[in-house]
Amino acid sequence: MIDRTQPIDSPTALQENETRRAFVTVVLPCLDEADAIGAVVAEARLGLRIAGVVGEIVVVDNGSADGSADIASRAGARVVHDPRRGYGAAIAAGVRSAKGDVVVFADADGTYDLTRIGDLLAALDEGADLAIGSRFGESLAPDAMPPLHRYVGTPVLTRLLRLLTGSRVVDSQSGFRAVRRSRLAALGLRAEGMEFASEMLLRAERDGWTVVEKPTGYRRRIGRSKLDPWPDGWRHLRLLVLLSPQLSLLAPAAAALALGAILCAISLVAPTGVPIGPLRWLPVFLGPMLLMLGGQAGLLGLLAAHRSALAPVGLRERLAWLGCPGGVRRLLAGCAATASLGALLDLLLLALWLGGRSGPQLLGVAGLAQAAIVFGLGGVATLFAIEFARDSLLD
């Protein structure tokens, strides 16, 4: 809990650091936090004094109906009203109105120890682009975080972010962060909900930022939580997948193509099917379908990865040829050639059928022919649609 008895000007708190001159804005998103907001604002003021900096506290009110805004104002905060609901929207509003060179975010529910603001500012002084207050460690209160968040939600999202970015961050969902305002604006963050935390870290890591974690602990919140675990968790996952075409398109495409190729090979080797007990399974239909789906997903994934600033740098470098003159025409030529090959196979099968040569051994070839035609023509249509939309087909 917050120690509400310690005065702002306590001698033990005033450990001045005269070397730091940045003006700091502490942004506190707030929705019905009347029980905590006054003490949190006071603790933020104390944290600035301990850090030896001058600054301001900005409380972004999301439409509180319990008088939170008035309490925050009386406690010394500058209150900004933003009708848009959502953690990310509130942070964005606070940053837009911030006067500070450095912005510190934290929740308004008393969970973060804001006397540790100086720890995050010190990390910035030492060269970090983004400083995160890690909640895990000895100072994590036993009952501060629900088990679902502590053992499932945060670890899963953190591991996914580490997989996507190579980050070593331990607590990707911490809301206690410090960043220079000019650097933050360059990230182009758009998420309006709790997924804002994941988007910031994903974009920062992809841009090559130096991200540093400092153990700052975590306390039991004051008041009722606004977090809805399943919808909020789904929005996090959806955001990460959409911003990572190598995960959402290329990886499934590779799996579908590999499995499709195996099933098509089985169809050619065992045209009468694979015995499964008293039944015989004919993979001649599933194999070509997987090839078609995998090919389309792969094509879209390559285009998305090439044009996404959030795709891994190595992947974008390997796809740089798509941005060169004639790059799209090479893809068009490849798709057209694939469709033509499928059509030639179909003509060959037709000739064999007219000559009286048919049978189950040709079904596998027919499936490959149809897959080639559908993928090739679908790829041509996809590329034409994309390039027409960009008015750059002939670039």
Write down the pLDDT at residue 390: 61
Q: 36-40, 58-62, 391-395: which range is least confident on average?
A: 391-395
Question: What are the residue ranges of helices labelled H in the chain?
Answer: 37-51, 68-74, 87-97, 117-125, 147-148, 154-165, 181-187, 196-206, 229-242, 245, 251-269, 286-307, 313-318, 327-354, 363-390
Whether residue 248 is predicted with pLDDT greater than 70 in this model: the reply is yes
Per-residue confidence at 148, pLDDT binned at 50, 70, 90? confident
What's the rounded Cα separation, in Å, for the pair 388 and 278? Answer: 53
Per-residue confidence at 389, pLDDT binned at 50, 70, 90? low
Per-residue confidence at 236, pLDDT binned at 50, 70, 90? confident
Write down the pLDDT at residue 313: 72
pLDDT tens sequence across 55-99: 999 999 988 999 999 999 999 999 999 988 889 999 999 999 999
* 116-122 mean pLDDT: 96
What's the rounded Cα separation, in Å, for the pair 185 and 187? Answer: 6
What's the rounded Cα separation, in Å, for the pair 187 and 176? Answer: 18
Per-residue confidence at 12, pLDDT binned at 50, 70, 90? very low
* Element housing 179 (H / E): strand 177-180
* Domains along the chain with CATH numbers: 24-242 (3.90.550.10), 245-390 (no CATH)
Q: Which residues contact 65 (CB under 8 A, 6 or more apart)?
A: 32
Whether residue 316 is predicted with pLDDT greater than 90 in this model: the reply is no
pLDDT tens sequence across 158-214: 888 888 877 889 999 999 999 999 999 888 898 888 889 989 998 898 888 999 999
- pTM of the complete model: 0.73
- Residue 102's DSSP bridge partners are 24, 180
